[in-house]
Amino acid sequence: MLRLLIHGGFFSESDQTHEVKVAKQNSLKEIAKKSFEFLKSHSAEETVVFAVSLLEDDPLFNAGIGSQIQSDGKIRMSASLMNGENQKFSGVINIENVKNPIEVAKVLMKEDDRVLGGDGAKVYATENGFQDFSTEIPQRRKEYEEKLKNGGKGTVGCVALDKDGKLAAATSTGGKGFEIVGRISDSATVAGNYANSFCAVSCTGVGEDIVSNATATKIVTRVTDGMSIENSFEKTFSELKEIDGFAGAIGVDRNGNVFHQDSHPKMVFASFDGERMEVFE
């Protein structure tokens, strides 16, 4: 029973064109298909890294190439990975000049110190063979120069259930754009990316809201305690609503049940099980 879901942030009809919407739908479908094929012969952990790296490489999304620019004109990215079987979590926070932050997080899985930030994360990446790479694209610079009139929240992520029944989650972001230097998002925390042997969840949206609500952790904990994945999402998002939170999440449980929910339309997502493709509309 293989399951795979991916997300790419949010889509706004008011500031993004129909052409962009179609491009994102097509990209998500292609990445979901490639990642599902990869999942057939790889673990959940390997697959979520593979899928998120493809999302990072696509400038349509706000992670890796195409990341938002912070208030000082620099790009800093965050990404994390969690293996549901062994409950190991690894991540990088505010790393600069690497192509795929999620790949650095993957390498960190072998370390005792598995979450690194800023300069330390960059030094570690360099020592482990990651070359300098600028992830800036002209559109992001234009948005920055206009103080991000068009804004947007476009974290990417993936959750997967592999053939051995193991779960994993991975999440990557280029931030919200024009933020205070040093700001930390939810993406490299267990609020935004969490998995155990019962459930895996990846979030997108406003990091501060997701952290305040402990969104991913709450959903997974509730599934672990016996609540259905649907009810776990609905309960957690009802609590998010109490703080007027902005978030979306994708999840899969160990029985192959998948669910996704957002507090504001439309979360950009795709789900594929080898036969049925579901993509945001």
In the block, residue with structure tokens 């293989």: 2
Helical residues (DSSP H) of the chain, grouped into ranges: 18-39, 44-56, 101-108, 118-127, 138-145, 207-213, 215-224, 229-242
Written in H, E and C, the secondary structure of 158-172 is: EEEECCCCCEEEEEE
> Contact, 249 vs 202, CB < 8 A?
yes
Determine the Cα–Cα distance for residues 108 and 240; give it in Å rounded to an integer. 31
Is 155 among the catalytic positions?
yes
User: What are the φ/ψ torsions at residue 206 (nearest 5 degrees)?
Assistant: -85, 115
Of 47, 155, 171, 204, the catalytic one is 155
Query: Nearest 10 degrees: CA dihedral of 202, 47, 132, 124?
Result: 80
The set of residues, in sequence order, having a beta carbon less than 8 Å from that of 257 and lying 6+ positions away, is 228, 229, 230
For the annotated catalytic residues, the residue numbers are: 155
